[in-house]
Amino acid sequence: MKLGMIINYAGEFAETVDLLVAYEQAGLELVGIPEAYSFDAVSQLGYIAAKTERLEIMSAILQVYSRTPALLAMTAAGLDHVSNGRFTLGLGASGPQVVEGFHGVKYDAPIGRTREVVEICRKIWKREVLDHAGQYYKAPLTKEDGGTGLGKPLKLINHPVRSDIPVSIAALGEKNVALVAEISQGWQPLFFHPEKAAQAWGDALEEGFSKRAPELGELDIQLQIPFSVGEPAPEAVAAVRNQLALYIGGMGARDKNFYNQLACRYGYETEAKDIQDLYLSGRKAEAAAAVPQDLVDAVALFGDEDQLRVKLDALYAGGVRTLLTSPVAPDDADKVEHMRILAGLLAERRSA
């Protein structure tokens, strides 16, 4: 299991980057940068690439709607170049709130668009002449498709460091997860419950794996998870509970909330409805209190070393191969030390 960390896009970026040498010495192997509607992830990934020599870097995630497929391919190749082959392209569809509300782009056909984006990226990284006549993206654009007719097929000028940059996709819905299992090297599921993952996604994964090319290898589940060694501070537990309430209760319209649907597939139908009713009526504290403790425990990596060993076993059995931790210790020295302890537990697993 690989040890990674997510750096918060909302703050503490510079301070955390200054500590990356210490984190790397403690055993950190990978850094991921999210992108919502704060600063862009690409500039921050480039900054980290320049500040480090061995740490892998990944986007977690770049939205398929806010950049063209060719720009995503160029960006990934550029980040892989400046990091000397250390980049993983994390993609996702995000949701209507961000795509339509912030970018002003219609949120449609997330599965079809994601598939074509990955196809186009892989063509470009191989320096193939791009001649893509897909359902959602066409290059070059002909007069019949609304273009000028002056465009011509092109290929990437530069030679990428790698022609097979790893792709990771964030997905929750069953059809989206089936696509991930078919075409992606990595999968970033949010609120992953290892004991209930099979009932939520088992059929979808099986469908996707039946079409998966052998050269893609094992699907790497890359899990964002809050982390603390020992008893976490009450505010850290409250933050997990509040985030679950926000996503299950308020992230999207009542019938368009992917996270609420996931909670239902986990078997929390009654609780998911209660959380949503409370949250949408403005009773956010009550919504947080209604989040099942079992779910809070499952989506966080909190505990002493023995408890962490048990949780790591469960995550590994569920298919998790990369941890994207979010340390919640009260100060930087504790965060680094907790990371060192977790790295030791992972090394112990590898040698067992």
Segment-wise mean pLDDT, segments of 10 residues, the chain, 352 residues: 87 82 95 92 95 95 96 98 98 90 94 98 98 94 91 95 98 96 97 94 97 97 96 94 96 87 96 97 97 96 97 95 94 94 96 83
pLDDT at site 344: 97
List CB contacts of 11: < 8 A, sequence separation 6 or more.
Answer: none
pLDDT at site 38: 86
Determine, yes or no, domain membership for 248: yes
pLDDT at site 53: 92
d(CA 17, CA 1) in angstroms, rounded, equals 23
Give how many domains the chain has, as a whole number: 1
User: What six digits make up the tokens of 283?
Assistant: 């009773």
Determine, yes or no, domain membership for 317: no
Of the candidates 220, 222, 239, the one whose C-alpha atom is nearest the C-alpha of residue 302 is 239
pLDDT at site 252: 78
pLDDT at site 18: 87
pLDDT at site 167: 98
d(CA 67, CA 65) in angstroms, rounded, equals 6
Torsion sign over Cα 220, 221, 226, 232:
negative
pLDDT at site 143: 92
Determine, yes or no, domain membership for 245: yes
Determine, yes or no, domain membership for 294: yes
Burial environment of residue 31 by CB neighbours within 10 A (0 to 12, 13 to 18, 19 or more): buried
Determine, yes or no, domain membership for 250: yes
| Residue-number span of the structural domain to which 245 is assigned | 233-299
Determine, yes or no, domain membership for 349: no
Q: How far is CA 112 from CA 90, 118, 172, in A?
A: 17, 10, 15
